[in-house]
Amino acid sequence: MVVLALATAAYTWVVRIVVDKAQNIGGGDAMSSAKTYAFAILPILIGIPAISGISNYFQRILANKIALNSVAKMQKQMFAASHAADYASFSREPTGNRISKFVSDVSVISAALIRVLSNLIRDLLTVVFTIAAMLWQNWMLSLAMVIFALAIWPIIAISQKMRGSAKDVQEHVGTITSELKESFGGARMIKTYGLEKHEETRLGKSFDERIRRFLKLVSEQARVDPILEVLGGLVIAAIVIFGVYQVSADLATPGSIAAVLTGIMILSPKLRALGTLNNVIQEGLSSLTRIFDVIDETPQVTERTDAVTLENPRGHVVLEDVSFTYADGTQALNGVTIEAKPGEMIALIGESGGGKSTVINLIPRLYDVTQGKISIDGHDIRDLTFDSLRRRLALVSQDVTLFNDTVAANIGLGNLSATHGAIEQAAKAADAYDFIMALPGGFDTVIGEDGDTLSGGQKQRLAIARAILRDAPILLLDEATSALDADSEAKVQGALETLGKGRTQIVIAHRLSTIKRADRIYVLEKGRVVETGTHASLSKKENGVYARLKSLQMEG
């Protein structure tokens, strides 16, 4: 950049030499004077552009390399921070908004960085060198440049506005990404309900809003250029008029006037480029703020520095007088006490909203209890390392999480160091082996986003195979509410029984068969345990909540 800037500023000399040499060359015949002249000026006319071109090439590649590397590092940090953040942060910020930070904000920053790296220093140096060259050539004339200083105040005011508008634009990109994600994710419902037009209108409004916000930003950006252009005109006028006076009074050579004018010709676009560079910088800064919001977020649920590792877990889970309130103030649990002894199966039942899922969320510390404590084998879970706590747990929930990867890879997420043989064993134990082998690629079949190519029962069995592979002493189960067909149902139930053998199970139960097998049932209502007992003892209770629930939901 330094070389490039020097080469550019050197043009003022080139013009001076070209003009003054042409004047002094007189005498002799025209042809030989032209020849002498050509020999004198050609080396500079070819040499300077060559130096400038070569340095431009290297500078550009370097600038891109630095910008791309920085941005990739930022993406990695932001991704790590996103997963290190509290689980609650995922419900606070729509996923699409988060995604847009990885895609859109990052590309705004990348563009800004590339421009800053290629232009800021080069243009600033060019401006400094050119001004120095002009002062050297004819300092009095060069003073006309102070007129440019008039632009400083308006540019600062415009910059502040621009940063706000750039933030508006990026935030809206986040909204659009969220809306698109929702809309495409809901394709099945949208088609079945014939909502295509409705969606077109809804998203159409968002796309139009983007234009509105963008134009606001552009109209602010566009104000900088004309200010500098008009000032540039004034500067040139001052130089020409005063220059004519200097030459007439024999105070300067025409070459030096031409040199100063050339300097202005170089300076003017560079100053304007710095003005528009400021636009890009403001946009980049606003995106940077959005990204740093993610990177700098401090999680509330953290591992203690002196956390202990849980050795030889038995799977004794106790919730002692646990209360929990969500960030929005909803009290989901209120003084709940639940115990699951090693190897026991505990069923949580009750009307929706009673707090069953919250119990399941608290055990892996997706959230920390607001009051009371949860312990595993006598250790408060807040005293355990995340790794030793979570390695003791396996979760099978009704909405199975599958990635667009092979069957083997999806099961393998249960234990990342499992061998292919172990994965096949787990599949067999989950009664999934036969259907997997019937897939076109067997265990190497890619199952599509969310496992779209599989049936509900098949997805459940993959999730169970994953949990079997994990081989954890404690199972958290969220039984599917929607009934599968009889055959799938029997297979899933069979797989679940295999999975549950010898493990502590805490199940959000919906099926009477599960509830009957449970060692203890906890009926949750409005965040409290209202009844506890076995199926037999609770069924006998006249007017009991359990008896009522059973008659309402589970008979038949």
Provide the binding-site residues for ligand ADP, judged by CB under 6 A: 91, 326, 328, 330, 332, 350, 352-358
Is the distance from CB of 169 to CB of 107 less than 8 angstroms?
A: no
Give dist(CA 530, CA 452) in Å, integer. Answer: 40
- Residue 365 — left, alpha, or beta (φ > 0 → left; ψ -120 to 50 → alpha)? left
**What's the min distance (Å) between Cβ of 85 and ligand ADP?**
15
Which residue's CB is nearer to ligand ADP, number 139 or number 326? 326
Inter-axis angle of helices 152-185 and 196-221, to 10 degrees? 170
Judge whether 378 and 315 are in contact, CB under 8 Å.
no
Q: Between 58 and 326, whose beta carbon lies closer to ligand ADP?
A: 326
Question: Look-up: residue for tokens 């209770």?
Answer: 541
What is the rounded distance in angstroms from the CA atom of residue 73 to the CA atom of residue 70?
Answer: 5
Encoded amino acid at 466, one letter: R
Rounded to a whole number of angstroms, the minimum distance from the CB of residue 527 to ligand ADP is 7
Q: How far is the CB of 356 from ligand ADP (least distance, A)?
A: 4
Task: Name every residue whose Cβ is closer than 8 Å to that of residue 175 and which is 6 or more positions away in sequence.
Answer: 94, 96, 97, 206
Nearest distance from C-beta of residue 540 to ligand ADP, angstroms: 25
| Closest CB to ligand ADP among residues 33, 398 | 398
Shorter beta-carbon distance to ligand ADP: residue 330 or 337: 330
Distance of closest approach, residue 473 Cβ to ligand ADP, in angstroms: 23
Nearest residue (CB) to ligand ADP, 289 versus 357: 357
| Least distance CB 351 / ligand ADP (angstroms) | 7
Number of alpha carbons in the 13 Å side-chain half-sphere of residue 139: 2
Nearer to ligand ADP, 67 or 395 (CB): 395
- Nearest distance from C-beta of residue 379 to ligand ADP, angstroms: 24
The SS3 assignment for 94 reads coil
Residue 243 or 354 having the CB closest to ligand ADP: 354
3-state class (DSSP) for residue 530: strand
Minimal distance, residue 375 CB to ligand ADP, in Å: 20
The structure tokens listed for 91 are 């419900």
Taking the C-alpha atoms of residue 133 and residue 148, their distance in angstroms, rounded to an integer, is: 17
Structure-token pair, residue 208: 């139009």
Give whichever of 412 and 527 is closer to ligand ADP, judged by the CB atom.
527
CB of 358 to ligand ADP, least distance (A): 3
Contact 287, 109 (CB under 8 A): yes
Q: Which is nearer to ligand ADP, 219 or 330 (CB)?
A: 330
Residue type, 376: I
**213 is written with which tokens?**
């916000």
State the Cα–Cα distance between residues 299 and 305, nearest whole angstrom. 14
Question: Parallel, antiparallel, or unpaired: how do β-strands 520-525 and 393-396 relate?
Answer: unpaired
Beta bridge partners of 374: 319
